[in-house]
């Protein structure tokens, strides 16, 4: 069942965001949340976990505070329901449940509280990106594996495709087709963009969803698509990009990667942003398939590295300006396609990509690595970005 | 009265009319597609510079980008390796006298319109000559197939083994070269048949025509409005430095 927007005869709920003012240090929470990790600062001298993020250890005043994954368990000490707020975002969303949790790692934290968490009971903690893109602590019942969906309030932290309309931008590729199929299976209604429909391509006689003409290398085509479906699409999954090894036509590569994303950003995404607060299933996410070589350049794919780096820089620069939308980077390694026939596995498969996109939307994370190579490189990069360039 | 004055008077009086043989240059018009490992001809693209707005309050204009062989376009001899060393073989050095020339229109639409594998043969050309007289040297030969009346996938007609669109066989091209024609004009995306990569020589219209210094016109339309003989073609490509071809406006002047 596809969701319905709000009452069309009244002004829609504005796409507001919760308070975003945080210190640079607190960005570590957002980094962890963007990857689906639960990490806090841990003192390298005395081992004490810290919250909220700070510059010196509350135990020994040591300055060597490193972001480390910590145990996710805790006990709910106290709970309250906020009924009145001075903040415009929370005024839209009250009543809102808050609580104080004593984490197993020893810190006390004020957290967003799932409706089924009982005072005195065990909770499972996660870090989630809120609508402002900040990493916030959320307490969930330990036994509910579907907890982010079972409390309607928590849907705001995720982008579950169920009940939403999704545009998959490039249905000419098996990756776009696989993503579309998986999204439909996950309960979404899918529009599938097809460039140059006059030219045949594999799978064209069995396309999932609603195929429509869309060529991201042509601004007029993007404008036409935005006019046709921009007011209905809640999620964009952009599978257009340049993922080939070696060199090639640089201008054409930038057209299908950087300029394609730029046209979406300028001509299509604003329609989503305007509806990001409206209805039961507001517009919520823009996913881009990006080669991991855009993060760490690959000498075997110099052109793709530059093209993907350009796309990545664009998406990262736009992120704070496009809230409350989530801008999800789905980093892929070498694809299991005809262009990589000579490369042995592991390669990123269509099924891996499609399932990873669904999972990222459901979890509300913003940086995912698809396949072993992308996962390895992303982990290396988080560990020491500079050294990956010399690996 | 000079012949030019008579021409102007005929135009003004409507006893001569102008037929536009040009497809609209639009982003979604099919282009030639080579195997993916080769470089590709860019489709037509346009982006607004300003539209009476903050980027230009009183004026409207575009930046455009396009391949030399996109849309209705002209092929110069240098386009093919066989013509690479000929004199006056690029768009900026073409003999301008050739850019206005008469045309013989060979109508094969009855057989070609629904047959992507239709081939123009010497027999057909000889039959045309038997009816309309010998094709004079220096004339364009325009091959009417009515494929310009198709659009999209039907126009490109790309199947699993490549494009299937009408064109000349190798013997017909050699015959036209021997007649001294100025060039071959067609309604399809290439002067060669869609399956011409299987011919000997490969791509005869390109190989033989350009090797002989002759020209090509592609993606023409409205050939059904031209008489078999007597049309005058104005086909002047952009004067691109060292260019291999260019999109252009092709006009035919015909008796009303």
Chain A residues in contact with B158 (beta carbon < 8 A): 198-200
| Mean pLDDT, residues B12-29 taken together | 97
Percent of chain A with pLDDT over 90: 86
Which of the residues of B are catalytic?
A: 79
Contact between B47 and A197 using a beta-carbon 8 Å cutoff: no
At residue A39's C-alpha, the angle toward residues A33 and A41, to 5°, is 125
Give the model's pLDDT for residue A154.
Answer: 87
pLDDT mean across residues, chain B: 97
Q: Which CATH architecture has domain A165-388?
A: 3-Layer(aba) Sandwich (3.40)
Q: How far from chain centre, in Å, is Cα A343? A: 29
DSSP B206: I
Percent of chain A with pLDDT over 70: 98
When scoring B153, B188, B189 by the number of chain A Cβ atoms within 10 A, the one with the most, hence best to mutate, is: B153
When scoring A195, A196, A255 by the number of chain B Cβ atoms within 10 A, the one with the most, hence best to mutate, is: A196
**Rounded to a whole number, what is the distance in Å from the CA of A266 to chain B's nearest CA?**
13
**Rounded to a whole number, what is the distance in Å from the CA of A300 to chain B's nearest CA?**
17
What residues have CB less than 8 Å from A68, skipping those under 6 apart? Answer: A39, A40, A41, A42
Give the model's pLDDT for residue A280.
Answer: 82
Residue in B218, B247, B196, B253 with CA at minimum distance from that of residue B145? B218
CA atoms of A349 and B181, how far apart (whole Å): 54
Q: Note the pLDDT tens digit of each residue in A358-371.
A: 999 999 999 999 99
CA atoms of B214 and B205, how far apart (whole Å): 10
| Token pair in block for residue B55 | 């980027």
Q: How far from chain centre, in Å, is Cα B205? A: 12
- Angle between helix axes A219-229 and A260-267 (nearest 10 degrees) is 40
Contact between A200 and B28 using a beta-carbon 8 Å cutoff: no
DSSP B44: P
Chain B residues in contact with A220 (beta carbon < 8 A): 27, 46
Give the model's pLDDT for residue A385.
Answer: 86
ipTM of the complex: 0.91
SS3 A59: coil
Q: How far from chain centre, in Å, is Cα A351? A: 18
Give the model's pLDDT for residue A51.
Answer: 95
DSSP B22: B
Chain A residues in contact with B42 (beta carbon < 8 A): 251-252
Give the model's pLDDT for residue A6.
Answer: 65
If one compares B163 and A19, the residue with the highest pLDDT of the two is B163
- From A199, A217, A220, residue closest to B158, measured CB to CB: A199
Strands B140-144 and B100-107, bridge-based pairing: parallel
Q: Which CATH architecture has domain B3-31+68-255?
A: 3-Layer(bba) Sandwich (3.50)
Q: Which residue has the tokens 């126009």?
A: B155
At residue A112's C-alpha, the angle toward residues A107 and A116, to 5°, is 105
| Domain definitions of chain B by residue range | 3-31+68-255
| Domain definitions of chain A by residue range | 27-157, 165-388
**Contact yes or no for B70/B43 (Cβ under 8 A):** yes
CA atoms of A118 and A138, how far apart (whole Å): 14
What residues have CB less than 8 Å from A370, skipping those under 6 apart? Answer: A330, A331, A332, A333, A348, A352, A353, A356
- Angle between helix axes B122-132 and B170-179 (nearest 10 degrees) is 40
User: Per-residue pLDDT for A390 more than 80?
Assistant: no
Chain A residues in contact with B40 (beta carbon < 8 A): 249, 252
**Rounded to a whole number, what is the distance in Å from the CA of A302 to chain B's nearest CA?**
17
Q: Note the pLDDT tens digit of each residue in A152-170.
A: 888 889 999 999 999 999 9
SS3 A157: helix
């Amino acid at each position: 069942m596809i969701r319905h927007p709000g009452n069309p005869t009244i002004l829609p709920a504005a796409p507001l965001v919760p308070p975003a003012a945080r210190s640079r240090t607190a960005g570590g929470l957002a980094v962890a949340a963007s990857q689906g990790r639960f990490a806090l600062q841990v003192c390298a001298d005395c081992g004490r976990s810290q919250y909220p993020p700070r510059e010196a250890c509350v135990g020994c005043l040591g300055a060597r505070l490193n972001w480390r994954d910590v145990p996710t368990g805790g006990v709910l000490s106290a709970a309250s329901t906020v009924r009145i707020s001075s903040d415009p975002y929370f005024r839209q969303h009250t009543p809102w449940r808050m609580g104080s949790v004593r984490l197993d790692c020893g810190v006390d934290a004020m957290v967003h509280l799932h409706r089924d968490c009982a005072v005195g009971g065990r909770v499972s903690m996660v870090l989630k990106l809120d609508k402002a893109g900040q990493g916030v602590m959320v307490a969930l019942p330990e036994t509910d594996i579907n907890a982010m969906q079972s409390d309607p309030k928590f849907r705001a932290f995720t982008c579950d495709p169920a009940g939403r309309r999704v545009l998959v931008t490039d249905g000419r590729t098996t990756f776009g087709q696989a993503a579309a199929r998986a999204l439909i299976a996950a309960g979404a209604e899918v529009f599938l963009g097809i460039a140059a429909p006059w030219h045949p391509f594999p799978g064209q006689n069995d396309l999932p969803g609603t195929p429509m003409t869309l060529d991201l290398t042509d601004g007029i085509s993007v404008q036409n698509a935005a006019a046709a479906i921009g007011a209905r699409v809640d999620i964009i999954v952009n599978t257009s990009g340049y993922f080939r090894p070696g060199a090639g036509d640089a201008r054409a590569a930038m057209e299908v990667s950087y300029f394609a994303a730029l046209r979406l950003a300028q001509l299509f995404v604003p329609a989503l942003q305007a509806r990001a607060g409206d209805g039961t299933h507001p517009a919520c996410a823009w996913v881009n398939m990006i080669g991991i070589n855009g993060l760490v350049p690959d000498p075997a794919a110099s052109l793709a590295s530059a093209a993907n780096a350009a796309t990545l820089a664009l998406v990262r620069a736009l992120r704070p300006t496009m809230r409350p939308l989530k801008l999800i980077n789905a980093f892929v390694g070498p694809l299991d396609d005809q262009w990589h026939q000579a490369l042995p596995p592991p390669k990123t498969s269509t099924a891996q990509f499609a399932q990873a996109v669904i999972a990222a939307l459901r979890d509300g994370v913003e940086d995912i690595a698809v396949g072993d190579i992308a996962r390895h490189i992303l982990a290396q990069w988080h560990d020491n970005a500079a050294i990956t360039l010399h690996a | 009265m000079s012949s030019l004055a008579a021409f102007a008077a005929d135009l003004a009086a409507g006893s001569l009319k102008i037929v536009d043989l040009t497809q609209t240059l639009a982003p979604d018009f099919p282009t030639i597609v080579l195997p993916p490992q080769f470089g590709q001809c860019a489709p037509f693209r346009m982006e607004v510079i300003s539209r009476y707005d903050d980027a230009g309050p009183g004026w409207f204009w575009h930046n455009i980008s396009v391949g030399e062989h996109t849309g209705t376009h002209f092929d110069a001899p240098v386009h093919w390796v066989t013509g690479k060393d000929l004199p006056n073989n690029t768009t900026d050095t073409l003999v301008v006298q050739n850019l206005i020339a008469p045309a013989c229109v060979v109508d094969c639409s009855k057989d070609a319109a629904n047959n992507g594998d239709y081939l123009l043969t010497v027999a057909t050309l000889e039959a045309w000559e038997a009816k309309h007289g010998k094709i004079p040297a220096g004339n364009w030969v325009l091959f009417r197939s009515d494929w310009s009346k198709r659009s999209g996938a039907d126009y490109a007609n790309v199947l699993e083994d490549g494009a299937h669109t009408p064109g000349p066989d190798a013997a017909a091209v050699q015959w036209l070269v021997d007649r001294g024609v100025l060039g071959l004009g067609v309604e399809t995306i290439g002067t060669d048949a869609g399956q011409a990569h299987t011919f000997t020589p490969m791509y005869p219209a390109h190989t033989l025509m350009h090797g002989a210094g002759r020209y090509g016109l592609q993606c023409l339309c409205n050939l059904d409005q031209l008489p078999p003989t007597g049309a005058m073609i104005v086909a002047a490509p952009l004067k691109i430095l060292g260019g291999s071809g260019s999109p252009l406006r092709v006009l035919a002047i015909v008796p009303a």
